[in-house]
Amino acid sequence: MSIAGKWLNKVKWDEHGLVPVIAQEVGTNDVLMFAWMNRDALARTVELGEAVYWSRSRRKLWHKGEESGHTQKVHEIRLDCDEDVVLLKVEQVGKIACHTGRHSCFFQKFEGDSNSGDWQAVDPVLKDPDAIYK
């Protein structure tokens, strides 16, 4: 077994060969997004130094920012205590991580109570998605 295989084998992949990944911004510690990786995506991320995810909807590798230019430069890769979640500490190029044109995908905040509460968009759109994706 190669060294590469050894470190990849430590990850507890789910029944689909995937692991959940959290992208967190270096410096601010903002949680930017949640995605999935397979073995190839994690290996490519290490090789490139930029985030590469597995797109479940497109069923292919997705180099973050391949269309938008909003890449994620990886500063650290961490594995949680159960070895089944990966944390990427990234520098978000262009400050936009979300396909909605926002800094973070977690822009909706629950406000109110259990009877009348609802989700409210609390973070601004930094760039119109139509201007990002052509």
d(CA 16, CA 38): 9
Q: What pLDDT score does 1 carry?
A: 44
Q: What whole-number percentage of the chain has pLDDT above 70?
A: 97
The C-alpha atoms of residue 45 and residue 123 are separated, in whole angstroms, by: 28
Question: Tens of pLDDT along 46-88?
Answer: 999 999 999 999 999 999 999 999 999 999 999 999 999 999 9
CA distances in angstroms from 54 to 28, 33, 34, 37, 61, listed in the order given: 25, 13, 11, 5, 5
- Any idea where the domains of the chain sit in the sequence? 17-132
Q: How confident is the model at residue 5 (pLDDT cuts 50, 70, 90)?
A: confident
Residue 64, SS3 per DSSP: coil
If pLDDT is split at 50, 70 and 90, which confidence band does 133 have? Answer: confident
Looking at residue 3, what is its pLDDT?
55
Per CATH, the number for 17-132 is 3.10.20.810
Does residue 4 register a pLDDT over 80? no
- Over the chain, what is the mean pLDDT? 95
How far apart, in whole angstroms, are the C-alpha atoms of residue 11 and residue 29? 23
User: What residue has token string 């391949």?
Assistant: 66
Rounded to whole angstroms, how far apart are CA atoms 85 and 102? Answer: 24
Please enumerate in sequence order all residues whose Cβ is within 8 A of that of 103, keeping only pairs 6 or more positions apart, or say none.
Answer: 30, 32, 92, 95, 96, 97, 123, 126
pLDDT at 121 over 70: yes
